[in-house]
DNA sequence: AATGTTAATCGTAATATTGCGATATAATTA
DNA sequence: TAATTATATCGCAATATTACGATTAACATT
């Protein structure tokens, strides 16, 4: 016991929750915001800007990358991370569908 | 070590990540979708529909409630849950801002 | 009052996450 | 080639999450 029972949920529910989970940490939100603002980004910058150790930043970047939200290319000695456009659009659409599904016409609660 | 260092992030980053975390579980997504589809408050027949124990469902509902995403009113012997319109709108706006901040004009990665 | 129904809470076991020092890896420069 | 720079990975400790049986609490029905 103690492990999420993914098998009883739909593939879509599991995928969306995985994306949300990847984003659901202040450090990872900060990283994403930093990438969005800079329109590019390097790991070393983040270590200076956020107050976390290099190993920790690297781990957070890895999680965002594993989720497919960002992608990185080697840029000489450093690594350049940026948004994965396809995944970004997909999450945006799925969340749009979820949030727009709410119609505040009921008055029961 | 091992505890999220909230103090180094902005209030907004911590709040948004808390909301995302509350949604970032397939069971809680399923609960939200169920509430949205029913378009009216549904009670604890979630136990029948999802394949989780009553204690587990109750715990997930509590987390969504603690995050302010849903609200519940006692309806006789059962409890009626529904979306919290204010929070829902706020999250939608914040996420909209985040996702729209991406301009795919760069060509770095 | 006794019984039944519904949901919350408690306690616990299994597992996952977070953070970081230490170390390894890979490309660059001296 | 050796030293330097930038990231990734390993290993570990602290903490959080997930799930569920058992119990409790609150209301409804008999």
* CATH number of the domain bearing residue A85: 1.10.10.10
The rounded distance, in Å, linking the Cα atoms of A56 and A60 is 6
**Domain presence at residue B33:** yes
| pLDDT tens-digit series, residues B21-77 | 999 999 999 999 999 998 777 877 899 999 999 999 999 999 999 999 999 999 888
Domain that holds residue B71: 11-93
**Domain presence at residue B77:** yes
**Domain presence at residue A41:** yes
pTM for the structure as a whole = 0.94
**Domain presence at residue B53:** yes
For residue B17, the SS3 value is helix
User: Between chains, do B41 and A106 touch, taking CB under 8 Å as contact?
Assistant: yes
Confirm if A96 and B69 have CB atoms less than 8 A apart. no
Q: Which nucleotide is nearest to A44 (CA to C1')?
A: D6
Count of domains forming chain B: 1
The rounded distance, in Å, linking the Cα atoms of B104 and B37 is 34
**Domain presence at residue A5:** no
Torsion angle (degrees, nearest 10) of CA B87, B28, B74, A104? 40
Q: Give the CA-to-C1' distance from B48 to C27 in angstroms.
A: 57
**Domain presence at residue A2:** no
């Amino acid at each position: 016991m103690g492990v999420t029972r993914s098998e009883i949920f739909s593939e879509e529910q599991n995928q969306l929750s995985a994306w949300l989970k990847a984003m659901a940490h202040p450090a990872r939100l900060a990283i994403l915001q930093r990438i969005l603002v800079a329109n590019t980004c390097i790991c070393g910058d983040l270590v200076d800007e956020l107050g976390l150790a290099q190993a920790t930043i690297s781990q957070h970047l890895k999680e965002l990358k594993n989720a497919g939200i960002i992608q990185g290319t080697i840029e000489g000695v450093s690594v350049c991370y940026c948004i994965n456009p396809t995944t970004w659009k997909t999450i945006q659409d799925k969340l749009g569908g979820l949030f727009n599904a709410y119609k505040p016409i009921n008055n029961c609660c």
